[in-house]
């Protein structure tokens, strides 16, 4: 049974899988987005979001943990200096997956894994926007009432 087993094996040994994910995520950090299969992207997303959370702490111990996992010092420097500080107010959801369709040769689902660029909006602003829509609905019947009064006057 696969209870509490949260990993995609992707048809590789564990060492090959770790190396592949490290290479994919370092490419994601340097380029901003990568194109890959859907299953690989879902596993790389888990790995990348954990590394960004580690990068948000920013101390020396976390930097050494990131180098041990990512194996690319330039990508770790980019992660700690630029990427992680951009997400300091965000509690997860640093990446997105955009589906592209199937690959022609083997019909594997392709997708783009990319870092989210836009800033997170506070929830209070969204709640304020909803009453404005209700106010517009209540104003429409008021506009019709003067027309009825004009028709009675004629």
**Per-residue tokens: 38:** 């859907």
Answer yes or no: are the C-beta atoms of 8 and 24 closer than 8 Å. no
User: Is pTM beyond 0.85 here?
Assistant: no
Q: What is the pLDDT of residues 65-119, one digit of tens each?
A: 999 999 999 999 999 999 999 999 999 999 999 999 999 999 999 999 999 998 6
Which residues on adjacent β-strands are paired with residue 153? none
Instruction: Say if strands 109-115 and 33-37 run parallel, antiparallel, or are unpaired.
Output: antiparallel
DSSP letter (8 states) at residue 27: H
The string of pLDDT tens digits covering residues 127-154 is 555 555 555 555 555 555 555 566 566 5
């Amino acid at each position: 049974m696969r209870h509490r087993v949260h990993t995609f094996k992707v048809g590789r040994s564990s060492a090959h899988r770790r190396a592949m994910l490290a290479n994919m995520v370092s490419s994601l950090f340097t380029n901003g987005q990568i194109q890959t299969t859907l299953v690989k992207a879902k596993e790389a997303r888990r790995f990348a979001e954990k590394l960004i959370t580690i990068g948000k702490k920013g101390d020396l111990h976390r930097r050494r943990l990131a180098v041990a996992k990512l194996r690319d010092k330039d990508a770790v420097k980019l992660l700690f200096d630029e990427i992680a500080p951009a997400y300091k107010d965000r509690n997860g959801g640093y990446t997105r997956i955009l589906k592209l369709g199937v690959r022609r040769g083997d019909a594997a689902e392709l997708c783009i894994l990319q870092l989210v660029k836009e800033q997170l909006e506070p929830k209070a602003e969204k709640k304020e926007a909803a009453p404005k829509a209700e106010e517009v609905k209540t104003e429409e019947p008021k506009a019709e009432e003067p027309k009825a009064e004009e028709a009675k006057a004629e």
